[in-house]
Amino acid sequence: MHDYQWQKSSYSNAAVNCVNVAAAPDGTVCLRESDDPQVILSATRDGLAAFLAAIKESRTGEL
């Protein structure tokens, strides 16, 4: 496993269900869930931004 500098999302509560994020040396963004830290998802910054924008739009009914 890579030695990333993981940070807990500010939206995660203190005890459980934490989302961790780290910047990879190749410029991608890595995400993992605290309950299963061996599973790491990676995305480009633009890809992650587009994904988050789509989620926000769907929550406001704009899709």
**pLDDT tens digit sequence for 3-26:** 899 998 777 766 667 889 999 999
**pLDDT tens digit sequence for 29-41:** 999 988 888 999 9
Task: Determine if the pTM surpasses 0.85.
Answer: no
CA distances from 29 to 17, 32, 35, 48, 59 (A): 19, 10, 19, 8, 23
Element (H, E) at 40: none
Distance CA 44, CA 24 (A): 10
- pLDDT value of position 9: 72
- pLDDT value of position 53: 93
